Amino acid sequence: MTIGNEIVSGDVPNTNASWLAQRLERLGIDVQLLVAVPDEIPRIAELLRSQAREADVVVVTGGLGGTPDDVTREALAAAFGVGQEEHPEVAAELRARFDRDPGYAVRWARLPVGSRPLENPLGGAPGFVIENVYVLPGLPAEMEAMFEIVERELPAERPIGSWRGKYRTTESQIVSVLRDAGERHPEVRVGSYPSFGPSGSEVEVVLKSNDPAALAAATAWIEQALADAIG
């Protein structure tokens, strides 16, 4: 979940979601939903409540700064029906680091009751964990650095491997191969992504699975099947 009016409006690309989805898949976590939400406490809280019940883990980015539209801490507190409290150790560290304006920075230490702070190695505002929700900064560099710290805690299983191949063809020419691949190899996810450029039509075929043997078998089959179909 990416929080921010600038994301929902399209003013800023949602690169955090793409980066996190790729990293989570490498860990073996099957990503079910990518969503962007405006800086509105009721909407954030409602969506978080439903997703925290349905998912093993929810990763949230954005809204941890000190401007009026940074409402993620308040929204998480509302989602879990708790108040906010200042974490003394976090507040002391922020006052020491931001001694020119400690009153501004110390607000970042008011986290939802029951949450655990997460150190921000590249920035000021800390992230936090509450139940199965991990809250990270919105700035990509800060988010990525914090994720490196917490990824070992996530409920990862077997890494999801992938195979990719690009072909000068159209989806209509290879649709039967894609359908057969899914039926023959149900443990493997099959995707196709067309593009059109000056040189003509091209399709990227992607296979994904957390079963290495199944992925290898599907790869061998589809490479031959695509060669036969395209000629």
1-24 per-position pLDDT tens digit: 999 999 999 999 999 999 999 999
Which residue reads 């000068």 in tokens?
Answer: 168
Task: Give strand pairing partners of 201.
Answer: 196
Q: Tell me what pLDDT residue 35 has.
A: 97
Sheet arrangement for strand 161-167: 161-167, 200-209, 189-197
Structure tokens at 179: 């359908």
Q: Tell me what pLDDT residue 94 has.
A: 93
Task: State the number of CA atoms in the 13 A half-sphere of 143 facing the CB.
Answer: 25
Tell me which amino acid residue 79 is: A
Q: Phi then psi for 141, rounded to 5 degrees?
A: -65, -40
pLDDT in tens, 117-139: 999 999 889 999 999 999 999 99
Task: State the number of CA atoms in the 13 A half-sphere of 223 facing the CB.
Answer: 9
Q: Cα separation of 70 and 60, whole Å?
A: 13
- In the predicted structure, residue 148 carries a pLDDT above the cut 90: yes
- In the predicted structure, residue 199 carries a pLDDT above the cut 90: no
Task: Give strand pairing partners of 152.
Answer: none
Q: How confident is the model at residue 157 (pLDDT cuts 50, 70, 90)?
A: confident
